[in-house]
Structure 1
Amino acid sequence: MTRVVIADLRTGDKLVDMPVKSGDWEDRLNTAESINATISVRNPAVQRLSPRSATTPAKTILAIMEGDLVMAGGPIWARRYDRDRGTVQLGAAGMQSIWDHRLILPVLARTYGLNQWIIPDPTDATKTIPNPALASSYTGLWLGTILKRVVQQAMAWTGGDLPIVFQPDEVSTNTDHDRTIQGTDFRTVGDFIRDTSQVIGGPEVNFQGRLRADRKGLEFLFQTGTGAQPLITSTSDVTWDLTAPESPISNFQVDEDATKLASLAWQVGGRSTDTVMVARAADSTLTDAGYPLLESFDSSHTDVSKQATLDGWAAADIQNAPLETWSFNALVNGRPSIAEYSVGDFHTVKIAKYQRKLRIGDPWYPDGGTFRRRLVGRSGDHRGRIVKLEFAPALEAS
């Protein structure tokens, strides 16, 4: 049964089912989910819930559930009332979205003297440096645990509490994982999470909504990949037979995007140390195959101060094949059901060899075959009948 629910953002409490006219959700890898719902204020069942106060933006969670399974949920950020239609449109994003509104600062920054944020450089009296007392420094920890620490620090501020639970800590002896964020950078937690997850070998992240053990509220598990397995994936082994008789799959589509192809990638950094750093990565795979030289340039990581980190960003920008996305629709409660797989899991898709006269197989993939793909997105609506699945090539397997 599909449910649209409302809960308090800071506690996850006051979980109530909200009748809706329509709704939809989308969950994509490493990004905040999207949740939308339209309610009718003329509906007596809605009126009994005091909808204006029950759906206050930035104070309330909107989530869509299949039974006890949270498909997507997070803060309501926008709503639109239409008096003529008697409707309210609610727009929410996953719990990761709130971190674009929080900075990486220790709690003492709230009262620290503003004239003390910059201090004289102890090694050069003619210069100044950011006050290290306002820095957030992390050493000897895996990147996923550093992200955990940054989120926990933000939650320690008055009013920063949220219904988030965490994985155990994980140490690391790799000094390339050490991070220092100066208070004067005023860097958002959200930017730091995205940047850290995008470095080569960095952890994937997810704020997985779930029903609390007491079944009276929601909580969100902050998942990160581990040092041994940076990808967030389960042991689920799902197989789809695209061309089988009475296949549960419909609307199969393939999208290819070559706009990010790059054989030569450049990055610049060093702003935080008042120097200029340049990183370069090259790969001749495409040019050897007859493609023209294609380059990329990125200046969005100018605060990077380690050459190895900047080199990693450049290497990550090399792309030797168009981004190919497969998508199809499946039944929510079919076989397999939506409860058997999550975003990030690896799947097998089978396509029979194409036989035109027998109408078997697929003419775009005439040789057929067995293809390994990774689920990177899924979406659905308030009806809970069909789920759209999006897959990327499985470059790494669990």
Structure 2
Amino acid sequence: MPATERAYTALAYDTVTGRVLFDLDLAKEPEWSARVNDVGGWKITVPLHGQARAAKVREWCVPWRFSVAIVRGRGVPTDTVCQAGPILPYAPDDNSPEHTVSGKGFWENLNRRVLHARTWNPATARITDSSADLTINDSLPNIAINIAYHATSMVYRPGSALPLDFPVLFPTGANTRTYHGYEMAFAGQRLQELTQVDGGPDVLFQPYLTVIGGLRYIRHRMLVGNPYLVQPGVPLLFDYRSNLVKLTIAGDGTDQANTAFVKGTGNEAGQLYGYATDTSLISAGWPMLDMVDSGHTSASEQTTLDGWATADVALYNSQPEQWQATVLADAEPRLGSYLPGHFADYSVKNHHWLKNGKYSYRILGVSNGPERDKVLHQLQAVRGS
């Protein structure tokens, strides 16, 4: 019986070097998701028929030691790598000869790196010592690049290197961030927090497949925006009922707010906090709606806290709708010609809910679709825009 031709290939690679070690057999099409400013993830199911095949799976299915790349195509350098990152949970099926393996995107590596100055030496100084502190005075995009650089090039701690390509630095700026070693916060957390401030940069770790010395490698490009990612070429256009197959829309005002309080360090009367408000909707008849953001309780700089509050209001003061566009993967614009964080036009006609017209939104995330020839776009949409 001939093997099923699949739309995707899965490759197991060395997490530290990126070298591809195995082409994986798949029992079904993989699942994957990629999202700007976030981790993303993947899931595969592999067959376990026979002890030889099971032994091979046991060889590569080792969390953190190896990673998996989901590739649309046959696994050659011209193919699009949809998602790639470390193996985490796995579960052989007791009722059938199948084995499920899941993981996350490259960002997850940084979620397991305590952020400190790359020159801190744990053999000579405690992490509470000032030598572990990392202070960066620069533009927000360059601060993002420096966070990743310090987390992947530690001088006195082995194992920090990863197959990561850094972008060219942006023009310098006047922003300051101090990350104290004693906070013992993860680099991935600090990077995500930076993307969330007002004017914070988009960050995406884009995996790609390359050949070096005749061997295949998975590497990751760190893409950083100012604040948005650079989008080359002509604007993306998806036409309803053509390459745009379906639009699923859901509205939810649960998190809507026109005033944001962001908690920082301290407690009781000494509580530091950021504050921002926008009364434009209140003037149009909306009630006052407050939110309290407790996700930054280690922050101690007022300008940073206010920046998070401003960003929260900008995000939640609108009338949010969750749009999911189902598009054809191999019709123009093809998967691989755009990335999470890019903007696209969605031309709509004769939709049950939407007015006819062209809607321009940012693609927050891309994932596999319900059929092999389709992918899903998660969009940053606002009702009535």
Q: TM-score, normalised on structure 2? A: 0.86
SS in structure 1 of the partner of residue 198 of structure 2: coil
Residue 24 of structure 1 corresponds to which residue in structure 2?
31
Which has the higher mean CA deviation after the structures are superposed, 386-395 or 185-194? 386-395
SS at match of 1:267: strand
Aligned 8 A contact 2:369 2:376 in 1 = no
CA RMSD of aligned residues (A): 2.5
Q: Secondary structure at the match of 2:107?
A: helix
Q: Quick check: 1:165–1:220 contact (8 Å CA) kept in 2?
A: yes
**Please, which moves more after superposition, 330-339 or 34-43?**
330-339
Residue 127 of structure 1 is matched in structure 2 by none
- What code does the residue aligned with 2:68 have? L
The 5 A counterparts of 1:352-391 are 352=349, 361-365=350-354, 367-380=355-368, 384-391=372-379
Q: Which amino acid letter does the alignment assign opposite residue 81 of structure 1?
A: P
Amino acid at match of 1:259: T
Q: Give, in angstroms, the shift of residue 381 of structure 1.
A: 6.2
2:204 to 203, 206, 216: 206
Select 2:16's aligned residue among 10, 20, 27. 10
> CA 1:391/1:299 → structure 2, altered by over 3 Å: closer, same or farther?
closer
State the partner residue of 2:76. Answer: none
1:228-247 equivalences under 5 Å are 229-236=226-233, 237-243=235-241, 247=242
Alpha carbons 2:13, 2:66 under 8 Å: kept: yes
Matched letter for residue 72 of structure 1:
Q
- Which residue identity lines up with residue 146 of structure 1 in the other structure? I
CA distance in 2, matches of 1:240, 1:113: 56
Alignment equivalent of 1:349, drawn from 339, 346, 350: 346
Query: Aligned partners of 1:45 and 1:64: how far apart in 2?
Result: 24
% of aligned pairs identical? 24
1:393 Cα deviation from its structure 2 partner: 3.3
Instruction: Give 3-state SS (helix, strand or coil) of 1:216's partner.
Output: strand
Name the larger-Rg structure. 1
- Residue 75 of structure 1 corresponds to 86
Once the 2 structures are TM-superposed, how far is the Cα of residue 180 of structure 1 from its aligned partner?
1.1
- Rounded to whole Å, the distance in 2 between the matches of 1:12 and 1:6 is 9
Change in Cα spacing, 1:138 to 1:18, as seen in structure 2 (3 Å) is same
Contact 1:8 1:15 in 2 (8 A): yes
Shift of 1:82: 2.1
Aligned partner of 1:134 in structure 2 is: 132
How many pairs are equivalent?
A: 361
Which among 311, 316, 340 is matched to residue 306 of structure 2? 311
Q: Secondary structure at the match of 1:167?
A: coil
Question: Given that residues 319 and 382 in structure 2 are in contact (C-alpha distance below 8 angstroms), is that contact kept between their aligned partners in structure 1?
Answer: no
The AA in structure 1 aligned to 2:339 is: S
Q: Distance in 1 between matches of 2:295 and 2:310?
A: 15
1:324 is matched with 321
Q: Deviations over 1:308-333 (max 9, x none)?
A: 22111111221322222222222221
Q: 1:376 offset after TM fit, Å?
A: 1.3
| Structure 2 stretches lacking a partner, 5+ long | 1-6, 74-78
Q: 1:298 to 1:3 in 2, by over 3 A?
A: same
Mapped pair 1:265 → 2:260: yes
**Is there any run of 5+ residues in structure 1 with no aligned partner, and where?**
118-129, 353-360
